[in-house]
Amino acid sequence: MRFSHCVVAVTAGIAGSAVLFAGPAIAARFDPSSGSVGGSRLSGPGVAISVAIPAGWRQLPDESHPQLPQMVYPDTCAAGVTCASALASVLSTSAASAQTAAAAAEQAVIGQAGIQGATITSEGPIQVAGRSGYYVRFGYSQPNGKLQAETVAIETGPASSGMIPTSLIFVTVSDLAGAPPVSVIDEIVGSTQLIAR
């Protein structure tokens, strides 16, 4: 069933992003030679959207998960989890609706071990890059701090057999010293562009 695939993909993709703050797994995949790529775009194979990489952020190449492009702040971070104070990722899949995809992504994040006190602060329909979508803004706590996050699902194609091609944006910002302002979430989401196929 394709919806199950959506939930699995969202869980694997977005939860993989949340791991950056939860444990050291990402540090081994980080390539410190990748350098700062402020001003370029974050996307990857099979991903139907791209978002701007703001100044001060660094892309994290992950050859084992190329379908989940990620970036972290600050761009001077050379040890992944030990120094990142914010992250963002993009992913494409299919879902019954943008609302279903955004909610599944939020649940994947808050379902991770060590996450506590998750609270949805706002949610609803949204237009992104001229397409219909749905967002869920939420906060949560981990042992190393409090975070604000947003999952945004964008319908990127016509429905087929009850499923809609959907792309997801996940952005989270911690309250760690030196973290970017929470407004970077809106900046990244607002920079979304569709990729011509």
∠ at Cα 105 (23, 57), nearest 5°? 55
CATH number where 132 lies: 3.40.1000.10
As a whole number of angstroms, the distance between CA 55 and CA 73 comes to: 9
192: DSSP letter: -
Q: Report the percentage of the chain scoring pLDDT > 70.
A: 77
Asked if pLDDT for residue 184 goes beyond 70, the answer is: yes
* Tally of domains in the chain: 1
**Average pLDDT over every residue of 117-137:** 96
- Cα 122 to the center of its chain, rounded Å: 17
pLDDT band at 78 (very low <50, low <70, confident <90, very high): low
**Average pLDDT over every residue of 47-58:** 95
pTM: 0.82
* pLDDT for residue 82: 65
**Average pLDDT over every residue of 78-100:** 86
60 CB-near residues (< 8 Å, 6+ apart):
26, 29, 30, 31, 34, 70, 71, 72, 80
For the record, the structure tokens of 44 come out as 């990857």
* pLDDT for residue 38: 43
Domain that holds residue 70: 2-194
* pLDDT for residue 11: 39
* pLDDT for residue 61: 75
Nearest to 151 by CA among 129, 130, 176, 126: 126
Asked if pLDDT for residue 31 goes beyond 50, the answer is: no
* One-character DSSP codes across 91-118: EEEEES-HHHHHHHHHHHHHTSTT-EEE
* pLDDT for residue 188: 97
∠ at Cα 86 (81, 91), nearest 5°? 95
Asked if the peptide bond before residue 74 counts as cis, ω within 30 degrees of 0, the response is: yes
